[in-house]
């Protein structure tokens, strides 16, 4: 028995499949691929599949980490090949490796965010991201109850670079992710919209990597 970390890309229409449905989809793929997974114990045993960080609906990704536990002697390459034959369109196992980092070490997400020049120009985007006063509302807890809190988004932007990609504007940005605090580009775009007083909706959002606190790629 050994632990295996899959890095999966999620692109195209499947970006609209929710986190819960992704878990069910993986269970079906594992069964079809006849992968010998370890099952949890108890009254309702189920295959051990762990998505380390939920991906926001509508966001595409490269290298999403999914941990599984293999029983028997099936090799990582065979697990990868078998799963890819059973994956729906838009999902691909890029690699299958022995886990190195612990899930708690995830600290940041690296994103490519594409905007239409019809909605925003480079100067406006730079002004908003450099303002120090971008805010958005996030759900949280206070005294055990769910509350809506206003968050200063500017304080949580680790880094950003603005450029062009074809007829669109490309924002490469690093935002907090993990178990402590999360900020995704959809929330960032809402904050930019509020600051500029107009609606700015990304054409595409792609999470390109997860990073540890030392900015090394999570592996």
pLDDT in tens, 112-159: 999 999 999 999 999 999 999 999 887 766 666 777 888 899 999 999
Among 99, 134, 166, the domain-final residue is 99
Report pLDDT digits (tens) over 71-106. 989 999 999 999 999 999 999 999 999 999 999 999
Q: Is residue 218 part of a domain?
A: no
Say whether both 116 and 161 belong to one domain. yes
Report pLDDT digits (tens) over 37-68. 998 877 788 889 999 998 999 999 998 999 99
CATH classification at residue 45: 3.30.70.580
d(CA 24, CA 30): 10
Burial of 110: CB neighbours in 10 Å, binned 0-12, 13-18, 19+: buried
Burial of 22: CB neighbours in 10 Å, binned 0-12, 13-18, 19+: buried
Say whether both 24 and 51 belong to one domain. yes
Domain of residue 51, residue span: 2-99
The token pair at 93 is 């196992």
**Residue the block writes with tokens 């609606």:** 199
Say whether both 90 and 153 belong to one domain. no
Say whether both 119 and 188 belong to one domain. yes
C-alpha dist (Å) from residue 57 to 19, 20, 43, 48: 8, 11, 32, 23
Say whether both 108 and 94 belong to one domain. no
Say whether both 76 and 152 belong to one domain. no
Say whether both 15 and 47 belong to one domain. yes
Q: Is residue 124 part of a domain?
A: yes
| Total of domains in the chain | 2
Q: Is residue 59 part of a domain?
A: yes
Among 63, 82, 99, the domain-final residue is 99
Among 43, 74, 99, the domain-final residue is 99
Q: What is the pTM of this model?
A: 0.91
């Amino acid at each position: 028995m050994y632990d295996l970390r899959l890095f999966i890309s999620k692109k195209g229409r499947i970006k609209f499949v929710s986190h819960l449905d992704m878990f069910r989809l993986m269970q079906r793929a594992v069964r079809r691929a006849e992968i010998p997974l370890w099952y949890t114990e108890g009254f309702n045993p189920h295959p051990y599949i762990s998505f380390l960080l939920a991906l926001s609906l509508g966001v595409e990704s490269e290298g999403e980490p999914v941990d599984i536990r293999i029983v028997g002697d099936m090799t990582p390459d065979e697990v990868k090949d078998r799963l890819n034959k059973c994956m729906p369109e838009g999902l691909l196992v890029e690699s299958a490796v022995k886990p190195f980092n612990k899930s708690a070490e995830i600290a940041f997400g690296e994103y490519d965010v594409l905007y239409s020049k019809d909605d925003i120009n480079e100067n406006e985007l730079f002004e908003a991201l450099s303002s120090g006063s971008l805010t958005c509302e996030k759900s949280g807890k206070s005294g055990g109850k769910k509350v809506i809190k206003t968050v200063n988004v500017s304080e949580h932007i680790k880094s950003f670079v603005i450029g062009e990609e074809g007829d669109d504007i490309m924002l490469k940005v690093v935002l907090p992710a993990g178990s402590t605090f999360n900020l995704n580009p959809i929330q960032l775009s809402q904050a930019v919209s509020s600051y500029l007083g107009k609606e700015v909706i990304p054409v595409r959002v792609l999470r390109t990597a997860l990073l540890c606190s030392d900015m090394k790629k999570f592996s």
